[in-house]
Amino acid sequence: MYPTYGYAARDAASPLAAFEFQRRDLRELDVRIDVLFCGVCHSDLHQARDEWRNTIYPVVPGHEIVGRVAETGKGVTKYKVGELVGVGCLVDSCRTCPSCAEGLEQYCENGFVGTYNGTDRVSGDVTFGGYSTQLVVDEAFVLRVPENLELAAVAPLLCAGITTYSPLRTWGAGPGKKVGIVGLGGLGHMGVKLAHAMGAHVVLFTTSPSKIEDGKRLGADEVVISKDPEQMKAHINSFDLIVNTVAAQHDLNPFIELLRRDGTMTLVGAPEHDHPSPQVFNLIMKRRRLAGSLIGGIAETQEMLDFCGKHGITSDIEMIKMQDINNAYERMLKSDVKYRFVIDLDSLRK
């Protein structure tokens, strides 16, 4: 076993605090990774505070992980000690169901194993995430990190990047397509960068007038203040795809009205409380679709990382120490993130 230092929430109401635990001995195909940086996803906050009502305490969040291979199990062939690698939201799945066979492990029909708050398929132990000094993961769920990118700014790609890349690919974002991204947070700013790089016409919807300039700098062709009905009306019946990343309950109708016939809005934001049902006629009159999308499988995550390497895409980050995490959560709740907090795990080693 490997003594490991992390930060955990002990219950839904307490702040995160220092927590010592053990990582498992290496299995045949395991890789032990020294965690260098870990992004802070809004899902970490939802789960630390049990907003999805399924948290097992103590919980060590963190699923946007980059680090260096420190040790490999006897059967490992994909990675060598010293290599830079990434781990996202998944650390295992059944690997045999139809979804797994298609490389869609996030939809594993027997339940994927989350990087934290998951249940290990062998030992039954609860998994602990990347707010920690090291990680032990099966090589099949480890990603290769492009070497030309700044490592800390790569970490958020492992969740925010793939969660926006996957629906953009699924619904065909590209040249000639008008794509909306709702919310300029961690997911949203990656959605803007990726949709722009795919060649789509990108419109950012934000509630924060202070983010207009940033939206354009990040790759939006247009920025719309979503609270302004006049600005919204100008885009009626025009979108092929809208990716909605908002982390709070809100009215979906003003966005659905902007879809063209056969257009799709996909929800990726996963708020504590469901959105009210949108108007049915708003959907049926134009054969519009309301969809959802969950992160991405391992193969698509590698494809996304390679795409980012090729296009020089990383996250805009603000580096924090592990000890600053509770303040970062409060700022995230105020939409005051530019545009992803990333924890420097050296702050736990000292």
Chain residues in the site for ligand NAP (CB under 6 A): 41-43, 46, 159-160, 163, 183-188, 206-208, 211, 245-248, 250, 268-271, 293-295, 332, 335, 337
Smallest distance, Å, CB 96 to Zn ion? 6
Task: Establish if 317 lies at the interface with Zn ion (CB under 5 A).
Answer: no
Smallest distance, Å, CB 182 to ligand NAP? 7
- For residue 141, give both structure tokens: 């769920």
- For residue 227, give both structure tokens: 């609270």
Between the CA of residue 243 and those of 111, 147, 166, 169, 232, what are the distances in Å? 25, 29, 11, 11, 16
Smallest distance, Å, CB 101 to Zn ion? 8
Smallest distance, Å, CB 112 to ligand NAP? 11
Of 136 and 224, CB closest to ligand NAP: 224
Smallest distance, Å, CB 167 to ligand NAP? 9
Task: Establish if 159 lies at the interface with Zn ion (CB under 5 A).
Answer: yes
Smallest distance, Å, CB 342 to ligand NAP? 12
Q: How far apart are CA 305 and CA 273, in angstroms?
A: 32
Task: Establish if 264 lies at the interface with Zn ion (CB under 5 A).
Answer: no
In the window 30-59, what residues touch Zn ion (CB under 5 A)?
41, 43
Looking at 40-159, list the stretches that DSSP marks H as alpha helix, in order from N- to C-terminal side: 42-48, 98-101, 151-154
With CB under 5 to 8 Å by kind, the binding choice for 248 among ligand NAP, Zn ion, none is: ligand NAP
In the window 266-285, what residues touch Zn ion (CB under 5 A)?
none
With CB under 5 to 8 Å by kind, the binding choice for 294 among ligand NAP, Zn ion, none is: ligand NAP
Q: How far apart are CA 246 and CA 244, in angstroms?
A: 6
Q: How far apart are CA 263 and CA 278, in angstroms?
A: 15
Environment class of 115 (CB within 10 Å of its CB; exposed 0-12, middle 13-18, buried 19+): buried
With CB under 5 to 8 Å by kind, the binding choice for 326 among Zn ion, ligand NAP, none is: none
With CB under 5 to 8 Å by kind, the binding choice for 94 among ligand NAP, Zn ion, none is: Zn ion
Between the CA of residue 96 and those of 108, 149, 172, 282, what are the distances in Å? 9, 34, 28, 40
